[in-house]
């Protein structure tokens, strides 16, 4: 209701130019988020790296590697947002939004590499324990890492959900886990203060396990996006919106897919067989308009109108057949 009321009171249209402007605005917002979070994580990484050199903490080293990897994921995402601004052409008729899915693959590979490196360093230190010095600095670095990652996580997740970027949301969740792994470094520092040399590498292994959990979730989300997966609730919302359109007697198949951070839909509706092509077209426009307002991030819909099945063999069977494509 809030969305519909705001829409009714706000001047708007469904022209192609508005759709392009919306996509460009979303990409610019995503780029701004990426560069700002890149700067915060880069600064956090430099601080932690300096303290790793002083202390020799392998737990902090693992956290530093992970933060560096998280900061570097801004590069493929930034490239994807830049490509996504390019207009569709005769070769890429749907545009370049799929570049975000490729960026998601790059992010997954980066997380996997960071987990392998952190795990290797932790195992090596566990087999050959070394003393950890400057424990107060290690603790301060852990708190700095947590604060930086949590800020970046909230910023990325909020922006990603607002512009509909699954890759940016996944990257934000990744940063949030990094923050909690930074806090785990405090445990290693506490154990080292008690004289437990094994505490620091064990915490490093725990951090590696946390990275692997993030890897599992990120890989699942990227796989779903590559397979054109959508939230079933979006399909339910689309079907409910179509049923409310006057003149729609039934609903056939409703399909959706993500193209970058925008949704596209295809829907079949059943109408009266005596409708003219003009009337069927007008009804398709109304159905498309209902879909645009009911489904968040939906920017384009193709609505196919067909008559009742029992009249398929009637003399005027094709009078009400219309295929309408509408773009917000």
296 pLDDT above the threshold of 70? yes
**CATH assignment, 232-327:** 3.30.70.1350
Assess contact for 112 and 216: CB atoms under 8 A.
no
Q: 3-class DSSP state for residue 268?
A: strand
Distance CA(102)–CA(222), nearest Å, equals: 9
- The segment(s) of the chain belonging to CATH 1.20.1510.10 are 10-226
* Greater model confidence, 10 or 323: 323
Assess contact for 59 and 204: CB atoms under 8 A.
yes
Interval 96-143: pLDDT, tens: 888 888 888 888 888 788 778 777 777 877 777 666 667 778 888 888
Distance CA(7)–CA(133), nearest Å, equals: 60
Q: Which of 249, 254, 256 is nearest to 272 (CA)?
A: 249
- Cα 3 to Cα 9, 78, 294, 295: the distances in Å are 10, 30, 9, 10
Assess contact for 164 and 81: CB atoms under 8 A.
no
Interval 215-246: pLDDT, tens: 888 788 888 888 888 989 999 999 999 999 99
* Greater model confidence, 190 or 296: 296
- The segment(s) of the chain belonging to CATH 3.30.70.1350 are 232-327
Q: Find the DSSP H helices in 128-231.
A: 135-163, 166-193, 199-226
Assess contact for 148 and 61: CB atoms under 8 A.
no
Q: 3-class DSSP state for residue 232?
A: helix
Q: Which CATH number fits domain 10-226: 1.20.120.450, 1.10.150.130, 1.20.1510.10, 3.30.2350.10?
A: 1.20.1510.10
Q: What is the mean pLDDT of the chain?
A: 77
158 pLDDT above the threshold of 90? no
What six digits make up the tokens of 146?
Answer: 């947590």
Interval 29-39: pLDDT, tens: 777 888 888 88
User: How many CA atoms are closer than 13 Å to the CA of 291, on its beta-carbon side?
Assistant: 32
Which uninterrupted H or E stretch holds 72?
helix 58-72
């Amino acid at each position: 209701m809030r969305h519909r009321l705001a829409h009714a009171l706000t001047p708007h249209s469904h022209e192609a130019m508005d759709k392009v402007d919306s996509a460009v605005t979303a990409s610019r917002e995503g780029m701004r988020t990426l560069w700002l979070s890149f700067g915060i994580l880069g600064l956090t990484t430099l601080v932690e790296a300096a303290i790793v050199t002083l202390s020799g903490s392998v737990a902090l080293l693992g956290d530093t590697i992970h933060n560096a990897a998280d900061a570097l994921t801004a590069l493929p995402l930034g490239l994807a947002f830049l490509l996504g601004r390019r207009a569709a052409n005769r070769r890429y008729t749907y545009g370049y939004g799929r570049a975000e899915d490729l960026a998601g693959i790059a992010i997954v590979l980066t997380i996997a590499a960071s987990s392998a490196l952190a795990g290797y360093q932790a195992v090596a230190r566990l087999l050959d324990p070394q003393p950890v010095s400057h424990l107060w600095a290690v603790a301060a670095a852990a708190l700095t890492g947590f604060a930086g990652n949590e800020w970046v996580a909230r910023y990325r997740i909020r922006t990603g959900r607002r512009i509909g970027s699954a890759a940016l949301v996944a990257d934000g969740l990744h940063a949030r886990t990094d923050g909690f792994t930074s806090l785990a470094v405090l445990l290693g520092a506490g154990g080292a203060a008690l004289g437990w040399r094994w505490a620091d590498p064990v915490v490093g292994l725990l951090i590696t396990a946390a990275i692997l959990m993030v890897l599992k979730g990120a890989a699942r989300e990227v796989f779903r996006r590559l397979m054109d997966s959508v939230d079933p609730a979006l399909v339910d919302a689309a079907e409910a919106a179509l049923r409310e359109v006057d003149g729609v007697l039934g609903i056939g198949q409703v399909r959706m897919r993500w193209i970058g951070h925008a949704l596209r839909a295809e829907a079949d509706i059943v109408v009266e067989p005596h409708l003219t092509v003009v009337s069927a077209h007008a009804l398709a426009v109304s159905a498309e308009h209902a879909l645009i307002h009911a489904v968040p991030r939906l920017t384009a819909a193709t609505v196919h109108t067909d008559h009742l099945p029992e009249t398929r063999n009637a003399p005027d069977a094709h009078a009400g057949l219309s295929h309408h494509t509408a773009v917000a």
